[in-house]
Every structure is written in C-alpha cells, then in structure tokens.
Amino acid sequence: MSDALAQHIERFVSIPKDDIANIATYFKKLHLKKKENLLAEGKVCNSNYFVENGLLRLFYVKDNGTEQTTHFAMENWWLTDYNSFAAQKPATFNIQAVEKSDVLALSYTAQEKLLREYPILERYFRLIHQRAHAASQFRIRWLYDLSKEQAYNDFCNAYPEFVQRIPQYLLASFLGFTPEYLSEIRAKRKS
C-alpha cells in the first residue's frame, strides 16, 4: 500500500500497526499513464480510488460533445463516481488520469469485506465523506457566487501550483467557461 494511505487513515482513526499490512491486501495498486482511463460512462464503477501521486479528473461529455470536468483528485484524495459506486449502477461520469499516476483501487466488494473486518474504518470513511460533504457545500456556494473572472482569479490565488500543473483548456472546463474566454481574462490581467 506504500505509506500514503496508511498515513492518511491514521490522520483520522488509530489502527494497530499489524492491521495495516492486512488492510493493504484489500487494495489493488494501479499505474496509469497520462490520459489513461479508469472509468467510462455507462460502465458500472466498481472501485473507489485513492491517489498516491499524480492527478485524476472526473468529467462527463456534454450534448455538444465537449468534455466537462467537474472534479480533480490529487495526492491523498479519494475519487469515484459515487452514484455509480454506491448503488453499483452504470456511471454517468468518466475518470481519467491527467498525469502519470499511482492509484490504489478499492473494489466495491473488497470495501464491504474490509468494513466488516475493520468496523473502525466505517468511521474513517464517515469522516472522509463528511469532509467531502462540507467541501461540496463550499464548492456549490462558490459556483453560485463568483463571476467567471473572479472564479479564475480566486482559483489561481488558492492553488497556484495546481494551475501550473494542468493545461488551460482543462482549467477553463473545470471553472465552467470556454478556453477563449480564459484567454481574454488573462490578456486583461496582464495589462
């Protein structure tokens, strides 16, 4: 499991050292190339993914054919299509590696067994989801509140290293506007 996940779990609950090695056996380690796909719309999403390093994105394809990225997940983040994963029904999102990434996959059935064997992890996942829930409340507020230009400025201030890491057209997609408009904002900013 390498240490990233063990450390992450221990930030939320305490686990005896001996259990860690056993818990690791529930996960499958994946090595993804840039642009490699983890999940495609229409398939059942059978795993929840923990990013050890690299970067994933969650996106869907709009009616006009363009891809809309709604979430990124970097080091120490979990990502999956929860509607698909939790109910084991077809996904409405895609998951793709933005960069070369190392990921730990926890399949639905493995998660069930894992939680039965280590109920303390129910707490871990409760806390993870609770944080995600809290984050969505902010995210949603942010989507209501900010003009596209503000969204860009705020995001650049909040995550300057991250902005460096991804191509502009992905950033534009994530922020919910067109690459053309992003160009315009950047031009305005310089002057």
Does position 167 interact with DNA (CB under 7 A)? The reply is yes
CA nearest neighbour of 96 among 160, 161, 164, 166: 166
Token couple for 158: 């909040």
Does position 83 interact with its own copies (CB under 8 A)? The reply is yes
Partner residues linked to 48 by β-bridges = 106
Residue 128 or 171 having the CB closest to DNA = 171
Q: Binding segment for DNA among 41-49, 97-105, 120-128, 166-174 (CB under 7 A)?
A: 166-174
Does position 129 interact with its own copies (CB under 8 A)? The reply is yes
Does position 42 interact with DNA (CB under 7 A)? The reply is no
Task: Using CB under 8 A, pick the residue from 3, 112, 117, 122 that binds its own copies.
Answer: 122
Max CA distance (Å), the chain: 60
For the chain, what is the radius of gyration of the CA atoms?
A: 18
Does position 81 interact with its own copies (CB under 8 A)? The reply is yes
CA nearest neighbour of 183 among 152, 142, 155: 152
Task: Using CB under 7 A, pick the residue from 14, 64, 157, 164 that binds DNA.
Answer: 64
Q: What is the DSSP letter of 44?
A: B
Task: Using CB under 7 A, pick the residue from 10, 36, 41, 149 that binds DNA.
Answer: 149
